[in-house]
C-alpha cells in the first residue's frame, strides 16, 4: 500500500483495510482481529534528536495508553533500511494484557512511525506483521534536513 502523504509504501497483508486516513496518519485493521496498525508522521520542527526530556514525555504518553504500570523496552532496529528505534510496551487496557510494538526513524525534524497494537495473546502474529512492515517499508520521499 502506498501512502504518499507520509512518504512511504508499506507491505501489509490484503486482509488489512484502512479505517482512517489523514495527511499525517493512517489507521488500519482487519475484520475479526484486535490487531491494529498505525503509520504516521510526527513533526518536530528543527529538532534533530530526542532529548531526555522528550523521552520522558513519550514514556508518560505511552503509559497513558497502556496503563501507568506499563513496561517499556527500547532497542535499536532497522526501519526500511534506516536506523530506527524500536519500542515494546506491555500494559493493561480494560483489565486485559495488551502490547504495542513501534519503530520510528527520526530525520530532518520528523519521525516516521510504524505502530502495531495488539492483545498480548496475539504477540506472535503481531510480531511477524510488525517485522514484515519494518523490513519491507519503502521510503518514497527524499530525506529532509
Domains, the chain, in order of start with CATH, read: 2-139 (3.40.1000.10)
Run of H or E residues at 49: none
pLDDT value of position 111: 82
Number of H helices, E strands in the chain: 2, 10
Main-chain phi, psi angles of 109, to 5 degrees: 80, 10
Provide the CB-side half-sphere exposure for 109 (13 A, CA): 7
Q: What is the pLDDT along the chain (145 residues), one digit of tens a residue?
A: 888 888 899 989 999 999 999 999 999 999 999 999 999 988 876 666 677 777 788 788 878 888 888 999 999 999 999 999 999 999 998 899 999 999 988 877 788 899 999 999 999 999 999 999 999 999 986 655 4
Amino acid at each position: 500500500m502506498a501512502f504518499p502523504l507520509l512518504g512511504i509504501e508499506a507491505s501489509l497483508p490484503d486482509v488489512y483495510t484502512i479505517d482512517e486516513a489523514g495527511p499525517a496518519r493512517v489507521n488500519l485493521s482487519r475484520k475479526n482481529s484486535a490487531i491494529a496498525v498505525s503509520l504516521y508522521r510526527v513533526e518536530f520542527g528543527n529538532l534533530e534528536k530526542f532529548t531526555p526530556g522528550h523521552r520522558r514525555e513519550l514514556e508518560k504518553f505511552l503509559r497513558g495508553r497502556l496503563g501507568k504500570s506499563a513496561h517499556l523496552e527500547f532497542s535499536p532496529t532497522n526501519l526500511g533500511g534506516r536506523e530506527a528505534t524500536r519500542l515494546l510496551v506491555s500494559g493493561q487496557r480494560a483489565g486485559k494484557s495488551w502490547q504495542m510494538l513501534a519503530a520510528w526513524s527520526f530525520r530532518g525534524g520528523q519521525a516516521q512511525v510504524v505502530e502495531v497494537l495488539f492483545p498480548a495473546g496475539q504477540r506472535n502474529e503481531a510480531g511477524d506483521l510488525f517485522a514484515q512492515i519494518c523490513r519491507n517499508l519503502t521510503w518514497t520521499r527524499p530525506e529532509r534536513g
